Amino acid sequence: METMNLTRRGFTTLAAAAVGATVVGCGSNTDPDAPGDSQAAGDKFTYWSMWTEGEDQQKVLASEIENFTKETGIEVEVQWSGREVLTQVVPRLNAGNPPDLVDNGSPDFISRLGVDNLMDLSDVYDMDIPGEDGKKVSDVVPEALMASMLKEGGEPFLVPYEVIGATLWFNANVTPQFEDAPPQSWEEFMAALDELKAAGRTPLALDGDIADYCAYWVEWGVLRAGGPGALTGAAQDPTGARFSDPAWVVATDNVEKLVQGGYFPEGFRGSKFPTQQASWADQTSKTDLILMGSWLPSEASGSLEKSGGDPSSIAFGSFPFPSVGENLGEGLVEAQPIGFAIPEKARQAAAAKQFVAYFMHKDRIARIASEAKNLTPRTDVEPPAELAGFAEEYGNAKTTVLFTDGVGTAEPKWVTDIWQPAIGKLFDGNLTGDAFRQELADKTVEYHKNG
């Protein structure tokens, strides 16, 4: 198996003004012009967050920041910036005065800030978690998750507090058979779909106007058959030959059969998100399985409630994508970490690191699960009931990859210019599996020739 090679991307200076901050703080006793954490922890630090006020994660973090200040005396100047927080960090980073702590997904840090601009957090992983005798931060972050949070030299740049991923979902009130005996192989999976079709059902829900959601079906087949790096490795092969690998052949031929065989709803490519997801939730489409991210329970319950339905009518269940071909990706899980990073030029890094270790305490981080209804990296934290299946899958992971095998970070232009258009043609039924592979190969060769 070949691991992906992350293309190094210099971060670009962006003209983006920072939004107003919500500030709690007092004066610092440390030298304000001294970057890094060579000094002792000061009495305050700045934190810019990807969450906005009122979001569940924001409420949890704000509460624990207040507790942290009470226990340590360290004030935290917080700015709830929202999803464009990294755009706002860039000019401050260029000016040499970035916030001391930032949170986001690992691929966002890689592509938008560049890992060279983030501190090595090895010392944080070696820190004791306050209040958990004998436990270090490294003890509660699974080894399988680490690959997506490392610099090229192997040093961690992120400490995760939430994990998102994608898996196969079903409603146990509609298809209880998947709860007791989920299909293990692609052959078993297809047999189950054929049984559903014979009963007058449409087996698979898919909002086909979202290219990434269509692509899940190809990427999961390729990764299950070929292992981690099978997709990104092909995108980075200047000869295009990797698209003829057995993993690509079996995975794309399987998807061709799904599209041509009528396993997706009629007209699914012309509907607008979240039509198909909502129709799966309220069962107007009589669909059964949906390959979707771990946010599905929240979104589907919300749409059902909005339409006057009863969210409790969905008993969320999930199971891993079945084995495909040689099954070199056995035990592979899509698990994308969201967590804390510290810019290289942070002036109060030591204080920020104290908070990171503090928040990793089981009782504190558990609120991400109990109140924000998301999975945490800690496998000893009880997951939300809706995510129990995915939590088990994550806990048993042999290895993890980012969404789309991380190719969106490694080769973003390839994704938008080659991958997504070809996916559209495949799911429109305009390309066979063989023609899809050939188009990817030809255009990937051209992509690398053009630099």
Going residue by residue through the chain, which has 451 residues, state the pLDDT in tens, using 9 for 90 and above: 333 332 222 222 222 222 333 333 333 333 434 444 434 556 999 999 999 999 999 999 999 999 999 999 999 999 999 999 999 999 999 999 999 999 999 999 999 999 999 999 999 999 999 999 999 999 999 999 999 999 999 999 999 999 999 999 999 999 999 999 999 999 999 999 999 999 999 999 999 999 999 999 999 999 999 999 999 999 999 999 999 999 999 999 999 999 999 999 999 999 999 999 999 999 999 999 999 999 999 999 999 999 999 999 999 999 999 999 999 999 999 999 999 999 999 999 999 999 999 999 999 999 999 999 999 999 999 999 999 999 999 999 999 999 999 999 999 999 999 999 999 999 999 999 999 999 999 999 999 999 8
For 201-241, what is each residue's pLDDT tens digit? 999 999 999 999 999 999 999 999 999 999 999 999 999 99
- Tell me how far apart the alpha carbons of residues 87 and 81 are, in angstroms, rounded to a whole number: 10
pLDDT of residue 451: 83
pLDDT of residue 41: 56
**Yes or no: domain 44-164+336-391 corresponds to CATH 3.30.70.260:** no
pLDDT of residue 22: 31
Contact 354, 370 (CB under 8 A): no
CATH number attached to the domain at 165-332+406-449:
3.40.190.10
Residue intervals of the chain classified under CATH 3.40.190.10 are 44-164+336-391, 165-332+406-449
pLDDT of residue 21: 33
Residue reference for tokens 């999975």: 375
